[in-house]
């Protein structure tokens, strides 16, 4: 096997332009893959964040008793679609209001607890259940109104779906493309080395001795391309983190956990080894008749 690595190294060194072309194709493929993975993971985390927040707020009419609110809250807790409820009294609502308007004391002073309604924050397992719950709650006589900020979740769900579908299709296409490029380059090299292969066969080289360097070469192109793509994407992410953090505000996605990035590196290399190995193996099967 050691000899196979030596032969592969020599093959790569002696055709540097093909090696660069193969690595660049693999680099672009894996750059797209890693960006897609980061976007998918980011949008998923953002979605989880928004889903975990109170999605609907039930405002109660003036004069609603704690008993009435408790009855509704207990009924909601029995409801399997509801995952979270929290009662916000008038006083608690005032505190939240004041906290949010700290920078404008005049605004804070104008408001008292009596003008703020008591409310109940609720979350559902699935965002689509929210409007159903809202409609049910609106029918309660003590309920004044129900605020449903379902647009954010709906938009985010759509974005996540789009990222998954478009990203998945793009990466799938690029994987096939990268495999074909590896087949083409290794196939070309096999043709280029026809004489050498012929001589090796006459010297008694085993099929593995002849094939392995080509397979190692394909795997090498894949792995190097994936590593470069990871370095570039991590650098880009690191560079844009301050800007993105400000944009995302309270959604704490950044900085990205280094362990997550290491997982991405590991899976990219594994995938690259599969793509490179599969491509070169197919080329060897197709073009190398031993």
Partner 1 sequence: MIRFENVSKKYGQTLALDEINLEIKQGEFVFVVGTSGAGKSTLLRVLTREILPSNGKVMVGNTDITKYKDKDIPLLRRKIGVVFQDFKLLDDRTVFENVALTLEVLGKNDEEIAKTVEHTLKLVEIWDKRNLFPRQLSGGEAQRTAIARAVVGKPDILLADEPTGDLDPKTAWGVIQLLNEINSWGTTILMATHNQEIVNTLKRRVIVIKKGKIVKDSKEGKYE
**If you count them, how many residues does the chain have?**
290
CA atoms within 13 A on the CB side of 247: 8
Q: Which of 16, 63, 80, 202 binds partner 1 (CB under 8 A)?
A: 202
What's the rounded Cα separation, in Å, for the pair 176 and 179? 5
**Percentages of the chain per state (helix, strand, coil), in multiples of 5:** 75, 10, 15
Task: Say whether 123 sits in a helix, a strand or coil.
Answer: strand
Q: Tell whether residue 109 is a contact of partner 1 (CB under 8 A).
A: no
Inter-CA distances, 250 with 95, 141, 199, 247, Å: 19, 35, 67, 9
Q: Which of 105, 168, 172, 207 binds partner 1 (CB under 8 A)?
A: 207
Nearer to partner 1 by Cβ, of 84 and 209: the residue is 209
Q: Which stretch, 44-52, 68-76, 196-204, 218-226, contacts partner 1 (CB under 8 A)?
A: 196-204
Q: Tell whether residue 203 is a contact of partner 1 (CB under 8 A).
A: yes
Q: Tell whether residue 195 is a contact of partner 1 (CB under 8 A).
A: yes
Q: Tell whether residue 162 is a contact of partner 1 (CB under 8 A).
A: no
What's the rounded Cα separation, in Å, for the pair 186 and 288? 10
H-helix or E-strand containing 184?
Answer: helix 150-192
Among 71, 76, 38, 43, residue whose Cα is nearest residue 57: 76
Nearer to partner 1 by Cβ, of 204 and 258: the residue is 204
Find out whether 178 and 271 touch, Cβ atoms under 8 Å: no
Q: Tell whether residue 192 is a contact of partner 1 (CB under 8 A).
A: no
Q: Which stretch, 44-52, 205-213, 215-223, 279-287, contacts partner 1 (CB under 8 A)?
A: 205-213
Nearer to partner 1 by Cβ, of 93 and 197: the residue is 197
Other CB atoms within 10 A of residue 1 CB: 9
Nearer to partner 1 by Cβ, of 59 and 209: the residue is 209
Q: Which of 49, 59, 209, 228 binds partner 1 (CB under 8 A)?
A: 209
Q: Tell whether residue 191 is a contact of partner 1 (CB under 8 A).
A: no
Q: Which of 39, 147, 200, 236 binds partner 1 (CB under 8 A)?
A: 200
Q: Tell whether residue 263 is a contact of partner 1 (CB under 8 A).
A: no
Q: Tell whether residue 14 is a contact of partner 1 (CB under 8 A).
A: yes
Q: Tell whether residue 3 is a contact of partner 1 (CB under 8 A).
A: yes
Residue whose pair of structure tokens reads 């979605």 in the numeric block: 47
The residue count for binding partner 1 (CB under 8 A) is: 15
What's the rounded Cα separation, in Å, for the pair 37 and 21? 24
Q: Which stretch, 33-41, 115-123, 191-199, 262-270, contacts partner 1 (CB under 8 A)?
A: 191-199
Among 78, 46, 57, residue whose Cα is nearest residue 130: 57
Q: What is the CA radius of gyration of the chain?
A: 30
Least Å from the CB of residue 281 to partner 1 = 18
Q: Tell whether residue 205 is a contact of partner 1 (CB under 8 A).
A: yes
What's the rounded Cα separation, in Å, for the pair 59 and 81? 20
Nearer to partner 1 by Cβ, of 104 and 198: the residue is 198
- Interface with partner 1 by CB under 8 A: which residues? 3, 14, 195-196, 198-207, 209
């Amino acid at each position: 096997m050691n000899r196979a690595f030596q032969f592969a190294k020599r093959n790569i060194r002696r055709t540097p332009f093909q090696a660069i072309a193969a690595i660049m194709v693999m680099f672009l493929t894996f750059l797209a893959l890693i960006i897609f993975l980061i976007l998918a993971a980011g949008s998923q985390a953002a979605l989880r964040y928004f889903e975990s927040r109170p999605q609907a707020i039930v405002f109660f009419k003036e004069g609603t008793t704690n008993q009435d609110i408790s009855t509704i809250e207990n009924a909601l807790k029995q409801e399997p679609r509801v995952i979270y409820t929290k009662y916000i009294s008038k006083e608690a609502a005032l505190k939240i209001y004041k906290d949010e308007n700290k920078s404008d004391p005049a605004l804070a002073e104008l408001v008292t607890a009596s003008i703020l309604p008591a409310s109940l924050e609720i979350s559902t397992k699935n965002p689509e259940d929210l409007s159903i719950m809202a409609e049910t709650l609106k029918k309660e006589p003590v309920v004044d109104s129900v605020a449903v900020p379902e647009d954010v979740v709906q938009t985010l769900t759509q974005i996540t779906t789009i990222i998954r579908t478009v990203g998945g299709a793009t990466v799938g296409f690029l994987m096939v493309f990268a495999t074909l490029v590896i087949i083409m380059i290794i196939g070309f090299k096999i043709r280029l080395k026809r004489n050498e292969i012929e001589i090796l066969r006459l010297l008694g080289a085993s099929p593995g001795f002849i094939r392995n360097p080509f397979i190692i070469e394909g795997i090498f192109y894949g792995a190097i391309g994936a590593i470069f793509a990871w370095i570039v994407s991590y650098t880009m992410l690191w560079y844009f983190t301050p800007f993105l953090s400000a944009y995302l505000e309270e959604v704490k996605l950044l900085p990205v956990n280094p362990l997550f990035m290491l997982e991405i590196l590991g899976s990219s290399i594994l995938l690259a080894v599969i793509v490179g190995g599969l491509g070169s193996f197919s080329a060897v099967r197709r073009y190398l008749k031993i």
